Structure 1
């Protein structure tokens, strides 16, 4: 089960409108850090943001805005239109690099929506009225080369309006404050969660209208733990996109953060392309 919370761009040559994509600008084929921990091909060779938030690159020349103006005529009005939009924004394993593959199951039930209950346990319910469609895809780096199995979830949600997508981010922050410890399912828990939210233009947030990041520790029956856990979420108009990363023994926190940045960067760019006004 993934959170309801709902952007690197190796394929775009690390030049997507000034985003500093920590993971996408390395041409190396992977290796190990000084502690002997595995850093996969396609992940950062340097350090990554602890909050896994893409940051605008510094430049001496003016650049186009990183966030285009929303074209409201492109907003989905029906569930079918929202599902089609998700298909254009959602990413596959190639967005992360060659070591990442699909998990089984690969996609969530499109009719269900995770909800954090009063006991800080995630449950699933029918989609709420404000959500037209949502989808989560599940990826993994299998255990090998001295590290355990790494899990990555990518979520796209389409609301009926920008107001409702904004409320999703607000609820995400409330959930962390209410439940710093959460149970995903039997045998899987998140511990010591903390979160931060930045509006467009605040600090390093030049990539999304409203950014939310969450970090803590992941504990699972399969891989033990605690291991690093990261969640990065962005908003553009009625759409929220998010990546969750669950670390493993022998896999660096920097590498996990880089993968999260890669996924959110790609999906946010695609959301801008689908819903933004064309440059005049």
Structure 2
């Protein structure tokens, strides 16, 4: 597998204007602007009505501040304890999704375990790999009411040892979709017809994260029925990856589900940048 995707793993993605939106985009990417690139200053013509005919030159405008700041490597955690503390400052609670969102039971994953997609496309758990210092998944739901089924939202934050390791996580996520478009989460819960896209910062409209990965398909549950829409959005900043998964329900639109996913990813990415980014100026 090519590191962080390569040409075989790159496809038309789903990102927009600093935040992720799960929608189509045109082919052909706009890569990062070269360092120091700016629009040349324009020279104004003779001012209308100016008796002197003096010409003025517009001042060159400074490039806008990047949405993704530079990583401050001195802030990276070096131990599992430091990583757990950082994780706690990034992961969100149910309040990030509005007053109707509640916690599910269990609320958090076992911090000693890590999800692995096996050769049969079934999700299992295993001990944390060496490159992961800390990880946590929290489980929320919008309870069923007024003709609408139960909507499930999961949020995950993982702290790796360095940026290279977190980049590999994104590459593996794309590989898993290509290998297993149909996946079993657990007995009675399945994902169907998955497709994914991964975009570096600056590709297409990805301006919100160093590496974006999105996944969509259908969710089928013995308990909740289906098929219902399924969305996954993942971002990376330095050694940290953040992700939100949304499992839809009857009476709940894809746009509404996408809005919840965007709320979670944008909030956690902002908090990751605040914790690990270099201060402006």
TM-score normalised by L of structure 1: 0.79
Contact 2:111 2:134 in 1 (8 A): yes
Answer with 1 or 2: which has the greater Rg.
2
Q: Which residue of 2 aligns with 1:50?
A: 23
Contact 2:18 2:206 in 1 (8 A): no
Aligned residues: 229
- CA distance in 2: counterparts of 1:20 and 1:276, whole angstroms: 18
SS in 1 for 2:266: helix
- CA distance in 2: counterparts of 1:250 and 1:236, whole angstroms: 35
- CA distance in 1: counterparts of 2:18 and 2:213, whole angstroms: 17
- CA distance in 2: counterparts of 1:196 and 1:49, whole angstroms: 10
Contact 2:244 2:265 in 1 (8 A): yes
Contact 1:100 1:140 in 2 (8 A): yes
Q: Which residue of 1 aligns with 2:174?
A: 173
CA separation of 1:222/1:61 partners in 2, compared to 1, >3 Å: closer, same or farther?
A: farther
Deviation sequence 1:159-204 (CA, Å, 0-9, x none): 0010000000000000000000000000000000000000000111
SS in 2 for 1:216: strand
Contact 2:19 2:266 in 1 (8 A): no
Q: Which residue of 1 aligns with 2:142?
A: 141
- CA distance in 1: counterparts of 2:63 and 2:252, whole angstroms: 38
Deviation sequence 1:89-113 (CA, Å, 0-9, x none): 0001111111111111110000000
Contact 1:231 1:242 in 2 (8 A): yes
Which 4+ residue blocks in structure 1 deviate beyond 6 angstroms?
none
- CA distance in 1: counterparts of 2:62 and 2:228, whole angstroms: 41
Pairwise CA distance, 1:63: 3.4
Pairwise CA distance, 1:50: 3.0
Q: Which residue of 2 aligns with 1:258?
A: 259
Pairwise CA distance, 1:19: 3.5
SS in 1 for 2:250: coil
Deviation sequence 1:8-62 (CA, Å, 0-9, x none): xxxxxxxxxx7458xxxxxxxxxxxxxxxxxxxxxxxxxx6337xxxxxxxx995
5+ unaligned residues in a row in structure 2: which ranges?
1-16, 25-60
Q: Larger relative CO (CA 8 A, sep 6+): 1 or 2?
A: 1
SS in 1 for 2:213: strand
RMSD: 1.5
TM-score normalised by L of structure 2: 0.79
> What is the correspondence of 1:26-41 to structure 2 with a 5 Å cutoff?
none
- CA distance in 1: counterparts of 2:165 and 2:147, whole angstroms: 43
- CA distance in 1: counterparts of 2:74 and 2:107, whole angstroms: 32
SS in 1 for 2:124: strand
- CA distance in 1: counterparts of 2:172 and 2:120, whole angstroms: 16
Q: Which residue of 2 aligns with 1:272?
A: 273
> What is the correspondence of 1:117-196 to structure 2 with a 5 Å cutoff?
117-196=118-197
